[in-house]
């Protein structure tokens, strides 16, 4: 066992001159004895000669015995090789042990340097003491460092406290100033509230005066319109399409009222005497051939103001084929109604209907600041062969209640107004919507060629604009 080996090793170490065998040598002898002594397996595997009577199976048994003998010999050879390998390993181990003993013997200190158990314990205690002292010194250094840090932090806190004290004093002074300003602002607020109340009272008074003034304006405006005539007749002369016209136009008061017009036509009597016959006409206003669409609209713009004042207003254009009715109301033939753009408002050929829509919309927007809000709706029908048809309905088709491919409408006379049933009423969200309505209606109107106009409108169209406040 290990203690016994240790004791033997110590005894051998202290008595190297004795002739007793060493533990390593003893173990080597024991191993050699075990390897030399045959085991029970070896005894059982050793072939024995057994005398058996020869019989019919003797030859077979002889062969089996020979095979068994060969197998046993091979096994013995294998075991001998294993034993030799074990002996070789044992010799190697012994050599290693002998080398280790030699090295240990060479490195063994002299007996004078050996220490007792008490010396060993004293050395351990000294080592523990030195370790404890080192730990305490490290802790002391840490405490000193922490104390220095705390002192520095205390100094910083004292400095911050002094700064805070100064800041608090400044803030108290600032608060006192703000309180003083607040009191002054309160006084100013009371004064402003009083002024605001006075201003609101003044605004209410001005609003009442504005309402009264607006009512007076409406009354005076409509009185002026009545004085000028509830029914006015204007004449617009279309420029001649051919040079060398027979009739001559003269406007005697063109520089003043522009209400008179003379037509001078050369005639010939039955006797062949040539003369010039003059026909004089008087209207509320006469527009010469050089008049523009803007000139015509400026004359009727006052009538449109009455629409927003709640009065019914009608602008009716009549004349022979090719006299320029559609040109005056809707616009010239060169306008592309299908491609709307912002520049259409400045087109000089735009007629009275688009101009009226933009003017009403502009005035309605200006009235919003006075609390007035307007909405506009439009419808457009045509009268053809004593039938009223809607020009803003669905796609044309044939069927009951349809005339010439358009929805048939009926005129209803109510106590307050005249109403056209089954006519589409389109809301106007912006003034440019009127161009789309006119384009849609223009595609569905009845037109035909005449001697005076290649594409003449063969029906009467009615554009109705409703404003609600």
Q: Which residues are annotated as a binding site?
A: 319-326
Contact between 352 and 337 under an 8 Å Cβ cutoff? The reply is no
Tokens of 286: 């006469």
Pick from 299, 298, 250: nearest CA to 278: 250
Backbone angles phi, psi at 334, to 5 degrees: -85, 0
Could you report how far apart the first and last alpha carbons of the chain are, in Å?
A: 124
- Sorted by sequence, the CB contacts under 8 Å of residue 81 that are 6+ apart come out as none
Rounded Cα distance, 25 and 94, in Å = 8
Residues flagged as binding site for ATP: 319-326
CB contact at 8 A, 283 and 229: no
Q: Are 417 and 310 in contact, with CB atoms under 8 Å apart?
A: no
- Say how many CA atoms lie within 13 Å of 345 toward its Cβ: 11
459 close to 383: Cβ distance less than 8 angstroms: yes
């Amino acid at each position: 066992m290990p203690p016994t080996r240790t004791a033997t090793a110590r005894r051998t170490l202290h008595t190297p001159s004795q002739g007793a065998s060493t533990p390593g040598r003893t173990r080597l002898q024991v191993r050699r004895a075990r390897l030399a002594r045959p085991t029970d397996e070896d005894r059982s595997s050793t072939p024995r000669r057994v005398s058996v009577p020869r019989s019919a199976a003797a030859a077979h048994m002889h062969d089996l015995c020979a095979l068994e003998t060969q197998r046993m010999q091979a096994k013995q050879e294998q075991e001998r090789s294993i034993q030799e390998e074990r002996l070789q390993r044992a010799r190697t181990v012994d050599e290693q042990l002998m080398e280790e003993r030699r090295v240990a013997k060479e490195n063994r200190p002299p007996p004078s340097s050996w220490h007792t158990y008490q010396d060993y314990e004293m050395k351990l205690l000294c080592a523990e003491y030195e370790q404890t002292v080192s730990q305490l010194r490290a802790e002391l250094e840490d405490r000193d460092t922490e104390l220095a840090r705390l002192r520095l932090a205390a100094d910083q806190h004292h400095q911050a406290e002094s700064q805070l004290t100064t800041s608090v004093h400044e803030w108290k002074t600032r608060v006192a100033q703000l309180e003083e300003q607040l009191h002054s602002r309160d006084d100013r607020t009371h004064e402003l509230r009083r002024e605001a109340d006075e201003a609101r009272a003044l605004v209410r008074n001005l609003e009442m005066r504005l309402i009264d003034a607006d009512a007076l304006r409406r009354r005076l405006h409509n009185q002026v319109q009545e004085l000028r005539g509830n029914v006015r007749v204007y004449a617009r002369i279309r420029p001649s399409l051919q040079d060398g016209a027979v009739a001559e136009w003269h406007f005697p008061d063109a520089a003043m009222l522009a209400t008179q017009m003379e037509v001078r036509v050369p005639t010939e009597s039955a006797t062949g005497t040539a003369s010039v016959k003059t026909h004089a006409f008087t209207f509320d206003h006469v527009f010469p051939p050089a008049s523009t669409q803007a000139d015509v609209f400026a004359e009727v713009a006052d009538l449109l103001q009455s629409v927003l004042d709640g009065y019914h207003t009608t602008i009716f254009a009549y004349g022979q084929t090719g006299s320029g009715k559609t040109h005056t109301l809707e616009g010239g033939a060169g306008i592309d109604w299908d491609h709307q753009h912002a520049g259409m408002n400045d087109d000089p050929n735009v007629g009275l209907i688009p101009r009226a829509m933009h003017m009403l919309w502009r005035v309605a927007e200006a009235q919003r600041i006075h609390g007035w809000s307007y909405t506009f709706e439009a419808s457009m029908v045509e009268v053809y062969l004593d039938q009223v048809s809607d020009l803003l309905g669905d796609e044309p088709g044939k069927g009951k209640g349809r005339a010439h491919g358009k929805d048939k409408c009926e005129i209803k006379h109510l106590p307050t107004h005249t109403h056209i049933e089954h006519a589409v009423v389109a809301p106007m969200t912006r003034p440019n919507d009127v161009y789309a309505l006119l384009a849609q209606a223009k595609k569905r109107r009845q037109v035909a060629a005449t001697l005076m106009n290649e594409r003449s409108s063969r029906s009467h169209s009615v554009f109705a604009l409703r404003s609600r406040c």
